Amino acid sequence: MRKVLRTTQYVTVALCKDNEPYLVSLNHGYDEAKNCIYFHCAPEGKKLVYQKANNRVWGQAVLDFGVTDECDYIYTSVHFSGKMNLISDLSEKQHAIEVLIRQLSLDPEKKLAQVKAEKLEKTTFGRIDIEHMTGKKGAPKKERLEEINNVFRRSTSAKGLGSSKEKDDY
């Protein structure tokens, strides 16, 4: 389940306010050590109105392996629940952008070198602290599996961001 959160590019997060549901997809970075998800967003909008009223969320990340010759549809997905909070501390924003860039960028070092503290201060970052996870695992074709494992190896090669015990493939 942790590997799915490390490998995917976005999560879809459901919120609820006054018995009205809402959802957003968010590009994310998963911090395995803290078991939390970082994202960034505009400073205002409907999701933040919902988050302020009720910070409990339910989310999903999907590895989509597509349809097989036998017409089965193969996926591996993770559901999680937790609490969504905004981050104000600059050092945590710096950590959040590093986790995000290392997960989402093909050239993380170049992107990280461009990060400026003044810009980070003005950017809204959020964190979802995961409290519970469930997963369902499909059996994809070998070629697609290799693609996914390459992404995972890249994202866990960053010092301090991956778990040394978790180098095994899907």
Ligand X SMILES: Cc1cc2nc3c(=O)[nH]c(=O)nc-3n(C[C@H](O)[C@H](O)[C@H](O)COP(=O)(O)OP(=O)(O)OC[C@H]3O[C@@H](n4cnc5c(N)ncnc54)[C@H](O)[C@@H]3O)c2cc1C
Q: Which residues are near ligand X by CB under 6 A?
A: 10, 24-27, 39, 41-42, 45-47
Nearer to ligand X, 120 or 153 (CB): 120
Nearest approach, Cβ of 126 to ligand X (angstroms)? Answer: 9
Nearest approach, Cβ of 165 to ligand X (angstroms)? Answer: 29
Instruction: Note the helical H segments in 1-45.
Output: 2-7
Cα–Cα separations (whole angstroms), residue 118 to 95, 96, 102, 110: 15, 15, 20, 18
Q: Which amino acid is at 15?
A: L
Q: Contact, 103 vs 39, CB < 8 A?
A: no
Nearest approach, Cβ of 41 to ligand X (angstroms)? Answer: 3
Q: What pairs with residue 63 in β-bridges?
A: 76
Q: Contact, 86 vs 40, CB < 8 A?
A: no
Q: Which residue lies nearest ligand X, judged by its C-beta? A: 45
Nearest approach, Cβ of 33 to ligand X (angstroms)? Answer: 22
Nearer to ligand X, 25 or 157 (CB): 25
Q: Retrieve residue 96's tokens.
A: 């959040």
Nearer to ligand X, 10 or 170 (CB): 10
Q: Which amino acid is at 33?
A: A
Nearer to ligand X, 24 or 148 (CB): 24
